Structure 1
């Protein structure tokens, strides 16, 4: 029995395999915006979901690194009194878009704040963007609402992500739940 026909079959199969398209990443339709922990400068915590970065407070040195990474817009959820430097001026000097949507306590996390944040997060022209607060606690509250209402993720899965990002304050969760319920009416 000759081994030549088997060799020709294997060779043909190998050549055929080389012509088929190859996907660089495995496809996953269960969560197309999978949250990934990443590292840029000294920012902690820092996650990315597609073109949205979610973080605690970046340092002055981190913003040029974010810019080099492609970030075009900085969205700050901290109040002016919390910052001991001119973040807005510095970010604008780097020619990045700067959006301040400050809130501090659960009572200041109003429907208008959620509306404004959702508007920025859903504006593809502003992407890639970074959404930050001091520790990402506030970021998690905004992320929870965005994932449920704009990405159609169920509440429990979105809450798990939000807590992974940094959400800790029960009052923020309550405000997010109330806003989601009102929007779904």
Structure 2
């Protein structure tokens, strides 16, 4: 998902979402999403992914940990590109997916422009 607004967070909370994981760095935010999430009764976690260099094992581990538990979760950035990229890496590095399967999962989650960086990290050829 791309960037939610206040109304989106309220609607998601009504639908059972309990945690918001934002992959955007603070420099990209023009509002206090954490405060808004809190007023909606949502847990809020920020894992800033600013550049392709942030697609690393540290950020992947942070996302994996944030996804643990049985809460319904929203993971977002500005366009879902970073969501797909980091999910692909978590799938390959931590969940046992093959690189090809992880890449497909990432695409379904929004991976687009960051695909070459993900391919390199997964040891896949650049198309």
- TM-score bucket of the superposed structures, by smaller chain: 0.7 to 0.9
Q: Deviations over 1:103-138 (max 9, x none)?
A: 1111123321111111111x215x111111100110
2:69 corresponding residue in structure 1: 124
Specify the alignment match of 2:12 in structure 1.
Answer: 66
Residue of structure 2 in register with 1:36 after alignment = none
The one of 80, 93, 98 equivalent to 2:44 is 98
Give the 3-state SS of the residue equivalent to 2:17 in structure 1: coil
Pairwise CA RMSD: 1.7
How far apart, in 2, do the equivalents of 1:83 and 1:135 lie? 13
Partner of 1:124, secondary structure, is: coil
- Which has the larger Rg? 1
Whether contact under 8 Å (1:57, 1:133) holds in the other structure is yes
Aligned length: 121
Cα distance between partner residues in 2 of 1:173 and 1:84: 31
- What displacement does 1:153 show? 2.6
Structure 2 distance, partners of 1:171, 1:145, is 10
Given that residues 73 and 97 in structure 1 are in contact (C-alpha distance below 8 angstroms), is that contact kept between their aligned partners in structure 2?
A: yes
Q: Which has the higher contact order (CA 8 A, sep 6+)?
A: 2
How do 1:141-156 and structure 2 match up within 5 A? 141-156=85-100
Q: Which residue of 2 aligns with 1:133?
A: 77
Report the CA distance shift for 1:149/1:112 in structure 2 as closer, same or farther (over 3 A). Answer: closer
Q: CA deviation at 1:149?
A: 3.7
> What SS does the aligned partner of 2:20 have?
strand
Q: Deviations over 1:151-172 (max 9, x none)?
A: 4332212211211221121224
The answer as to whether partners of 2:89 and 2:118 remain within 8 angstroms in 1 is no
Task: Name 2:59's counterpart in structure 1.
Answer: 113
Equivalent residues of 1:138, 1:172 under 8 A apart? no
Structure 2, unaligned runs of 5 or more:
none
Superposition TM-score, scaled by structure 2 size:
0.85
